[in-house]
Homo-oligomer: A and B are copies of this chain.
């Protein structure tokens, strides 16, 4: 039991659901909210409830969205013939911070994982297949992570697209720009060698 009662204890425990927050930071956060920023605390509770109530997934691409179709899917300025497939909405965020891509997205919300029992249906592959059947997509760009699961997922989607005669590409992986070889991990480096191109 917490020195200051069960509600404070519950708050400390609840704060630990946040990534990177251990018992010490959770306690510091709880004290801060109660001692110095009750307004911030209420605003956070309201924002949490509002976000959890309102935010759902786009019916076309599964991106986090407050509307049935997301801002990407309804934007006529985006290239509707390119579809970039990513694992998570945060991947979309990262890609959008560049201006390298102007097409649409499809968010799997994970990757194939027999270990965790995550199959094609959980990843919305039916929806993706329907989407590809509409003949609007000319290129599927695979941007799943470079992990065993991410690669297996990319392979699976590649087959879906190729079966429909749609061009399939995979974003390049290798040594990051400005990355010094000695600081690049060996997986990335071996991938950079395998993916070497003729000059």
**A residues near B, CB below 8 A?**
3-8, 10-11, 13-15, 17-20, 25, 27-35, 37-38, 40-52, 54-55, 63-67, 70-71, 88-90, 92-93, 96, 109
Contact = CB atoms under 8 A, between A and B. Distances in A.
B49 A45 contact: yes
Given A3-B93, A4-B89, A20-B25, 18 more contacts: A4-B71, A6-B66, A11-B50, A11-B51, A13-B47, A14-B46, A17-B33, A17-B41, A17-B43, A18-B18, A18-B32, A18-B44, A19-B28, A27-B93, A34-B89, A42-B52, A44-B45, A45-B45
18 contacts: A5-B54, A5-B71, A6-B66, A7-B50, A8-B55, A10-B47, A14-B44, A17-B40, A17-B41, A19-B28, A20-B29, A28-B90, A31-B90, A35-B89, A35-B90, A41-B48, A42-B49, A45-B45
Contacts of A20: 25, 28-29
Contacts of A10: 47, 50-51
Nearest to A37: B17
Contacts of A90: 27-28, 31, 35
A47 B30 CA distance: 10
A7 B66 contact: yes
A51 B17 contact: no
Nearest to A44: B14
Contacts of A27: 90, 93
A58 B124 CA distance: 53
Contact of A32 (B15, B19, B29, B43): B19
Contact of A63 (B4, B28, B63): B4
Given A55-B5, A96-B3, A29 B37 contact: no
B52 A5 contact: no
The residue among A5, A44, A46 with the most chain B CB atoms within 10 A of its own CB is A44
